[in-house]
Amino acid sequence: MSHFEHASLRPAALPADLDEAAHRCLVAGFEGTTSVPDTLKELIDRGLGGVILFTRNVRDARQVRRLTDELRALRPDLLVAIDNEGGGIGHLVGAGAPDVPGSYALGVADDPNLTARCADALAGHLATLGITASYAPVADLQRRPDNPIVRTRSFGADPGLAARHLRAWITATEARGVASCAKHFPGHGGTVTDSHHGMAVDPRPYDELSADLEPFRAAIDAGVPMLMSAHVVFPALDPNRPATLSRRILGDLLRHDLGFDGVLVSDALEMRAIADQYGEAAGARIALAAGADQVIVAVGDLNVTLDCRDAVLDALRTGVLARERIEEAAGRVRRLAERYATPPAHVADWDPGAGLRAARRAVRSRGVPPAVPGAHVVDLFPPPHPALNWGGEDLLTEVRALDPTTTGTAVTGECGADPDALVEGILRRCGTAPLVVATCDAGLHPWQSRLRDALSARRPDAVLVDTGLPEGGALCAYGRGRVNLRAVTEVLVGAAGG
């Protein structure tokens, strides 16, 4: 007997309408590209509110559309969602996702019309795939240089700048019939911990947190239909629980003070900030009681989703979770589905060059030679984040595409037991050619700093490039999306950008 069948045969079953309402409050991840697992079919039949797709569900555009059509055939009001921020943060490379820079580069270019064109391209592509909910844009402010998770996903540190670009993004996405989602309320930019890996805490007093709320206010004013909560503890707001599980933050602050009445969705419950401290099942129950309308269980193992579902049903049976709270949440999800569950019948073309234009306008330079053709390029970058699926694009590939005489070395992750030998090998291969050394968030990854400093000490003429946030290089791309790297490449090789 399966887990699902066992749960289904329990005595004292809930009324059918309440059972369906509880299922509306769940968003499930799953494995597979060409068929829907039986357990997921059963969940959908009982009223599952949404599914979230990841790279594991993507092979190519035609396959994704077949999959979303199959899902929607099971239940037409099922929301099909994905993380789709741009700048390499997304899961649709295999399906031909438009190349746009990350949000920080858009903030540096600071042209809301161009931001809107980039958001329109992403949303238009989603609509062609039958995906009608996008867990983007990021509304967090990049507050700390040692923040490990927001960084170039943010539009910047200034709340006014972030607000105007959020409005542009949300409006453009809405025009495509795709639901956007501002995240991670009330902000993840003031932490030094990635909530994927542990509990994050923002220790700032309330008066310092208030500016971080302004982008979310702007998103709400722009009509954003969804917000996503942060797995972050804010002692000034609620010293006991992270925002995802806090009635003070989700109810008093978001619903009452900010007046948001759209769908509030949790960040993924299997993230260690929740899973390690509470467990996914308890996290689901507490989040819904606190005011979330949907909880995401993004992991592909549907048994985790079933555990979360069972915890919610048990809490309803025992009165720990109020029926009225779940009916309120399910009502919001139904209204969201009425607006967004059905993809548009016709999808107009989008501007395919908007992303590269934005990336070019974001590049900042100081003291760079007119061009360094025939260079030896050393690209240092951390391994891709498993949840965000940055694709690991490298600068060397982009430079070679424009200058085939380029040589180089790409290094991702720690450089082994003998970094001195690596430095000697790089310098030997470089010879008398110009040397370019690119880093990405070297302040967070000391091995990059050590290699960069060792190389530049031996070659003071080396051109230093920052592909994340600025770290003193002569060139800064403000992101590692493919178009960010292409734009900085054009400067390095002297190619004329459009």
What 8-state DSSP symbol labels residue 243?
G
How are beta strands 226-229 and 263-265 bridged, if at all?
A: parallel
CATH tag for 3-340 (out of 3.20.20.300, 3.40.50.261, 3.40.30.10, 3.30.390.30): 3.20.20.300
Closest CA to 465 of 419, 434, 498: 434
Query: Which pLDDT score, from 0 to 100, does residue 11 have?
Result: 43
Q: In Å, what is the CA distance from 321 to each residue of 183, 282, 292, 338?
A: 26, 12, 12, 26
pLDDT less than 70: residues of the chain? 1-11, 390-392, 415-417, 496-498
C-beta atoms surrounding 145 within 10 Å: 13
The shares of helix, strand and coil residues in the chain, as percent rounded to the nearest 5, are: 45, 15, 40
Residues designated as active site: 196, 267
Distance (Å, whole) CA 336 – CA 81: 12
Domain spans in the chain, listed from the N-terminal domain onward: 3-340, 363-493
Nearest to 195 by CA among 272, 294, 255: 272
- pLDDT given at position 367: 75
Note the CATH architecture for domain 363-493: 3-Layer(aba) Sandwich (3.40)
Strand ordering across the sheet containing 133-134: 133-134, 79-82, 50-53, 26-28, 295-297
Residue 495: per-residue pLDDT? 84
Q: CA 330 to CA 23: how far, in whole Å?
A: 8
User: In sequence order, which residues have a C-beta less than 8 Å from that of residue 374 and are 6 or more positions away?
Assistant: 403, 405, 406, 433, 434
Contact 389, 54 (CB under 8 A): yes
**Residue 497 confidence (pLDDT):** 65
Tokens of 351: 């501007």
* Number of alpha carbons in the 13 Å side-chain half-sphere of residue 167: 15
pLDDT score for 416: 64
Instruction: Output the six-digit token pair for 220.
Output: 């709400």
